[in-house]
Amino acid sequence: MEKIKVIIAGPRGRMGSEAVKLVERTEKFELVAVVDHKHGGKLLTELEGVSTLPVPVFADITTCLTEVKADVLIDLTTPEVGMHHTKTALEFGVRPVVGTTGFTQENLAELENLCREKETGCIIAPNFALGAVLMMKFSQLAGRYFQDVEIIELHHDKKLDAPSGTAVKTAEMIAQVRAEKSQGHPDEKETLPGARGADFSGMHIHSVRLPGLIAHQQVMFGAEGQTLTIRHDSYDRVSFMSGVKLAVDTVMNLHTLVYGLENIIE
């Protein structure tokens, strides 16, 4: 059996270290290198507690892709770094699986064009947890019937981007089916700026950051005399790994950009 050769960018991170374990324990995957700007030239075994595999660590993606043959790059870093890694991988014909959030609409459009030009597949998944993907799909269904919706996303306090990629994706999916409406009272005023959260097509997104949390989201719909709440909780980052595995498998057969795991689950 030909193994899928995988590079992971961000191997010391909360998600990256979990992805290293996933690739290690998956028979048909082979970890061939990692990218870590702080530890170029070392072996992964020298990075404390990450892995017992002696794979090379590269400080930059271009050197890594020049020296190592790979099929897939898993990126779990930061938006600017992730964008650079994704573009470089596509230039090398290596398929990116991107969990990094914070990409703009312009970033996505640029990557979509690059995928088409290079005829190389790429998956960008704001959330790899199956339950979160279902939460987004159920919310989209509810959005057909309820115009009034508030999205509350709750994360650990080390998170850099707000709102979360999941909240943005949820709002995008609901906006595809929801009759547009600016919510709340037409004369409402914020006496403290930000009190009503971020505005996405008239829907409001609220970002909570607290130690103790991992990744949670609640989508609340309201209508006369009733509310509907759809909620998902990730209590452990292992919740994201079956989605990462599915994305690595699937991207091998793609030639375009797929944004969101809802597009590849049955």
Ligand X SMILES: O=C(O)C1=N[C@H](C(=O)O)C[C@H](O)C1
Residues at the contact surface with ligand X, assessed by CB under 6 A = 101, 126-127, 155, 159, 164-166, 215
Measure the CA–CA gap between 41 and 56, rounded to whole angstroms.
7
197 interface partner picked from ligand NAI, ligand X, none, CB below 5 to 8 A per type: none
Question: How far apart are alpha carbons 137 and 141 in whole angstroms?
Answer: 6
Q: Figure out which of the listed residues 127, 139, 140, 217 binds ligand NAI, where binding follows CB under 6 A.
A: 127
Residue 258, helix vs strand vs coil? strand
Residues facing 258 on adjacent strands? 123
CB 94 within 8 A of CB 210: no
86 is an interface residue for ligand NAI by CB under 6 A = no
| DSSP string computed for 45-89 | GGSTTT-S---BEESSHHHHHHHS--SEEEE-S-HHHHHHHHHHH
- Residues 6 or more apart whose CB falls under 8 angstroms from that of 106 comprise none
Kindly state the smallest distance separating residue 120's Cβ from ligand NAI, in Å.
20
Quick check: is 206 catalytic?
no
Which CB, 169 or 178, lies closer to ligand NAI? 169
Question: Does 126 carry a binding-site annotation?
Answer: yes
| 163 scored as a contact of ligand NAI (CB under 6 A) | no
Q: Identify which range of 94-102, 139-147, 169-177, 196-204 contacts ligand NAI by CB under 6 A.
A: 94-102
Rule CB under 6 A: is residue 259 a binding residue for ligand NAI? no
Asked if residue 36 binds ligand NAI (CB under 6 A), the reply is yes
Report the residue number, 59 or 214, with the smaller CB distance to ligand X: 214
Of 146 and 240, CB closest to ligand NAI? 240
Nearer to ligand X by Cβ, of 143 and 165: the residue is 165
Which amino acid is it at 14? R
Q: How many residues interact with ligand NAI (rule CB under 6 A)?
A: 24
Q: Give the bridge partners for 43, in sequence order.
A: 56
Residue 240: CB atoms within 10 A of its CB come to 24
Catalytic residue numbers?
Answer: 155, 159
